[in-house]
Amino acid sequence: MNERCSWAGPEQIYIDYHDTEWGVPEYDSRALWEKLILDGFQAGLSWITILKKRENFRAAFAGFDPDVIAQWGEADVARLLGDAGIIRHRGKIEATIGNARAWQEIEARQGFDRFLWNYVDGVPLRTTISNRADMPTQSPLSTQISKDLKKAGFRFCGPTIVYAFMEATGLINNHLTTCPRHVPCADLARDPADVWPTSV
């Protein structure tokens, strides 16, 4: 178990992301929302493009604070369309504002973190795949989550985007079994009772 997942390289920013973030279970509502938004911006692009612009995105989008972004309007869309440091796509920018409002509703009702982790009963799914070519790009679960997110008002959250999001946030541990991060990410999973005092 000494070979990283094949997608992680050769650039150091990609390797660092793989080694420290990808697949680590994320339990923070705001951080989960940020990652979902960035995966939406990735649609049609490579992840490393987003990764290299991530700090620019964070500056442009108020640290991805959905409570702030939910108040934005056309003037903010115009400002962002003029920001060369991010992906200047009107549809994705407008969707981010709408997604912030959708996040607020879910967060107030049950918590966005619980909303997502409930799909896996609070425990990361774990695959046993040793070849990246065998890794799916979507699943029945990502399709269901996508459907439910869209029903809640989210956009740019199709089944493939959601599956990539699930991988990134540790809802599913898709590090290859030959990858040195597979076991450590599994070990980082927390007991749901420690994350949420009552059952998820």
Q: Model-level pTM? A: 0.95
- How far apart CA 39 and CA 41 sit, in angstroms, is 5
SS (HEC) of 29-52: HHHHHHHHHHHHHHCCCCHHHHHH
pLDDT for res 199: 56
pLDDT for res 158: 97
pLDDT for res 196: 83
Q: Which two tokens stand for residue 34?
A: 């940020």
Expressed in angstroms, the distance from the first to the final Cα of the chain is 33
Rounded (to 5) percent helix, strand, coil in the chain = 60, 0, 40
Query: Tens-digit pLDDT profile for the chain (200 aa)?
Result: 478 998 998 999 999 999 999 999 999 999 999 999 999 999 999 999 999 999 999 999 999 999 999 999 999 999 999 999 999 999 999 999 999 999 999 999 999 999 999 999 999 998 889 888 889 999 999 999 999 999 999 999 999 999 999 999 999 999 999 999 999 999 988 888 888 887 55
